[in-house]
Structure 1
Amino acid sequence: MNLEDLLKELQALIDKYSADDAEPTDEDAARMAELTKSINEIRAQQTATAQTRAATVAAARAAIENGTARRVDAVPLARSANVVGVGNAYDVTDYDAAATRAWVKDVAERSGVQLVGGTALTDVERAAQNHLIEQRAEFTHTTGNTDSIIPVEIQSQIISLIDNTAVLYGDIHRSNLSGQFEISRHVSITKGDAAKTDEGAAPTDVEQNEYDVITLTGEEIKKTVEMSRKMAVQSLSGFQQYIIDEVSARLAVACNAFSHTRLADTTLGMAAANKIETAKANAIAKSDITGMLSKLKTFGNPAAKGVIIYANNDTIWNYIAMIEDANNRSYFVNESTDDPTVQGRIFGKLVKCDDSIADGVIKAGYPDLFHGNLFDGPDVTPYVAPRSQKRCFDGYVLFDGGLVVPQAFAQLTIKTA
């Protein structure tokens, strides 16, 4: 029985004997004593519960006010006085957006940028920022914890913009392992490649593959974005977009250039035999392109994107697009796609414009067989340059990679003499 039922029964017994002042029977007296005891116990329990709840609420309010409250995404509030009868209620605060605003305000304050509306954090933004720092401390083991952790939302936007503008880097296969990263390179099939056999017969020879394993620890890539003091008055949304756009643009150039450096590396890059020159100086022929393409191998490794040809704008339009057949028709087909780096096709292969490649150099290969790993980043560190008062933002990534098949890429250089 609940408290209300107990009170009703006790009141009924009292009313039974109050009219004629008669003494209750032994049985009714015992029942009245039992009811009184149960009612007192329930009221004592309710008082203790109310005191505990009041203390919890007071502690939570104090934590919110002093900025030590932990983030809570879904708190049932069904028993709260302000939601009695409406079912379960939940905290629907967008903590991700609050964390983003907190990070942008923190970067602005540390770099001396005056945001319209100021850089003071609200209680929600401070709580979201503290939660972000706690997550980093709990789950990140390879990067030092700082008081300014870039939100996932901004990090994802920077990564997306880098992929859309860094041509080769945007095409390659990438992982996000925080620890050791190994590349198992398929160097060659030394014996027993697939061959025709009679029905039901075993292979005539067992395939033997040559592999080597290379452990990568990552290379630091940094690029700085500068903003003059005169420019240092921004709206919060405008400042956030400025950081995203400028940092991604700088890192895109650096990451793409580094990927090409790895292609040229004697250990992690393409095989030496896959680097060839044109037959004639200052000219390119069909046989030069087909000769480069004939060097490419996958050794059965999956390469969904197929072969892509990379060259800069000058090389594409002054050389590749000028290769003609016997009837003076160009083998190059101008083709517009959603990817602005695609300039067309030749012999069925996409041709992409890549400014990281020098004049007179053409590279072709399977970008899926370039395996890279983004160990850390992108990250953004703000500071003010002394004397010049420029507001600086260092973009940072820790990246490394290489070809899993050295014959997966080839390079054609146009001879100059």
Structure 2
Amino acid sequence: MNLEDLLKELQALIDKYSADDAEPTDEDAARMAELTKSINEIRAQQTATAQTRAATVAAARAAIENGTARRVDAVPLARSANVVGAGNAYDVTDYDAAATRAWVKDVAERAGVQLVEGYALTDAERAAQNHAMEQRAAFNHTTSNTDSVIPVELQNEIISLIDNTAVLWGDMPKQNFPHQFEIIRHKSIDAGDAAQTDEGAAPTDDEKNTFDTLKFEGVEIKKSLKMSRRMAVQSVASFQSYLVSEIAARLSVGCNAHAHARLDNESYGMEKTNKIQTSTANALTKADLAGLLSKLYTYGLSTPKGAIIYANNNVIWNYIAMLEDANGRSYFVDEKNADPSVEGHIFGKLVKRDDSIADGVIIAGYPDLFKGNVFDGPDVMPYIASDGTQNRCFDGYELIDCGLAVPKSFAQLTVKTA
């Protein structure tokens, strides 16, 4: 019987003898004593269970606040707090968001930016920050790599913005090796390329290739942004958005400029014979552009993006878009897509606007064969200017490098001026 049934039976016996104040029989008295004992035992058990549950929840909450609770969504909070008890409580705190808020508050405090919410960390933010520090310490202990100051979510957001605005740098595939390394470059097939043979016959000629190596040592890309003290009153969300967009905008300029410098470099970039000029001054012909594309080689390597044509806005609309056939129809197709840098197509190739390219220059190539690496960053370093301006300064930093795996995979066409 449950507690409710026991209480009903006991009350019925009490009511039976309460009307005439008669003494209960020995049998009813024994039953009343038995019922009273069972009721007291059940109530004592319920009280103990409630106290255990209260202790479990209190210990679990304390574990979250001091950062000792395990961050595993599927583990009951009682277990993560090392307390055995009834009931399941779960730690549903968004620690990634909390860690990001904690980092933004820390950057703002070090740069003297006033935040509407202030600098004080909540319990969840402090726990998330401690957990992130422990993760970085464990990672560094096993890999000897430097710790990542900026949260991964913000790093990825900055990288995405950089890739969307740094056209050539954004198109190339990139790795994240922390140490210097070398890539193998395929410079040419000198003899014995694949050829048809009779069934079961050996190749008629051995293939002879020229390879060399390219060392990636890393170059530092640094860009600063400043905000006046008058501007420096923001919410956490708006300040985070400001940092991400401004740092990405400035780093993208440096990364893309470095990519073009490497492309033009005799050791890291395109082969010297792949740099040509137009046939006539101040004009571009179909033959000139076809000659540019004819210079490109992949040597059978995978190039899923295909060949892409890059030029600045002036060259695209005053030269490339003006190419016409004998009937006056343009070869250039003004067709946009999700990539904001795409201006259209010509001869089946994408034409992208890249403001890092000089006037009168057209570059074509396979970006999949332009290999990049991000050794470190992007990172954000805050400080207050020491020149008396009271400007709040934020330095964006990346350690990167890049180079062509096939020197003939890119070519350059310059419009002659005379």
> Is contact 1:342-1:352 (8 Å) kept?
yes
Look up the match of 1:170: 170
> Is contact 2:60-2:78 (8 Å) kept?
no
Question: Identity of aligned pairs, percent?
Answer: 64
Look up the match of 2:190: 190
Look up the match of 1:321: 321
Which TM-score applies when normalising by structure 2?
Answer: 0.81
> Is contact 2:260-2:356 (8 Å) kept?
yes
Code of the residue aligned with 2:120 in structure 1: it is: A
Q: Report Cα offsets for 1:296-319 as digits up to 9, x if no partner.
A: 000011000000000000000011
Correspondence 1:317-356 to 2 at 5 A: 317-356=317-356
Code of the residue aligned with 1:406 in structure 2: it is: P
State how many pairs are aligned: 360
Which TM-score applies when normalising by structure 1?
Answer: 0.81
Q: Report Cα offsets for 1:319-362 as digits up to 9, x if no partner.
A: 11111222222211111211111111111110000000000000
Code of the residue aligned with 2:98 in structure 1: it is: A
1:378–1:71 Cα change, 3 Å = farther
Shift of 1:134: 2.4
Look up the match of 2:396: 395
> Is contact 1:222-1:254 (8 Å) kept?
yes
1:412 and 1:59 mapped to 2: Cα distance?
Answer: 67
Q: Report Cα offsets for 1:360-399 as digits up to 9, x if no partner.
A: 0000000000011111111111111121111111111111
1:58–1:77 Cα change, 3 Å = closer
Look up the match of 1:94: 94
Look up the match of 1:301: 301
Q: Secondary structure at the match of 2:262?
A: helix
> Is contact 2:145-2:178 (8 Å) kept?
no
Shift of 1:93: 1.5
Shift of 1:58: 8.1
Code of the residue aligned with 1:415 in structure 2: it is: K
1:77 and 1:341 mapped to 2: Cα distance?
Answer: 49
Q: Alpha carbon RMSD of aligned pairs, Å?
A: 2.6
Q: Secondary structure at the match of 1:269?
A: coil
Shift of 1:410: 0.1
2:147 and 2:195 mapped to 1: Cα distance?
Answer: 56
Does residue 157 of structure 2 align to residue 157 of structure 1?
Answer: yes
1:318–1:226 Cα change, 3 Å = same
1:328–1:276 Cα change, 3 Å = same
2:121 and 2:108 mapped to 1: Cα distance?
Answer: 12
Deviates most, 290-299 or 157-166: 157-166
1:134 and 1:104 mapped to 2: Cα distance?
Answer: 19
Gaps of 5+ in 2: 1-51
1:59 and 1:244 mapped to 2: Cα distance?
Answer: 35
Gaps of 5+ in 1: 1-49
Deviates most, 102-111 or 170-179: 170-179
Shift of 1:179: 2.1
> Is contact 1:73-1:93 (8 Å) kept?
no
Q: Report Cα offsets for 1:124-168 as digits up to 9, x if no partner.
A: 21221122222223324565458xx10011111101111111111
Q: Secondary structure at the match of 1:225?
A: strand
Code of the residue aligned with 1:261 in structure 2: it is: A
> Is contact 2:59-2:83 (8 Å) kept?
no
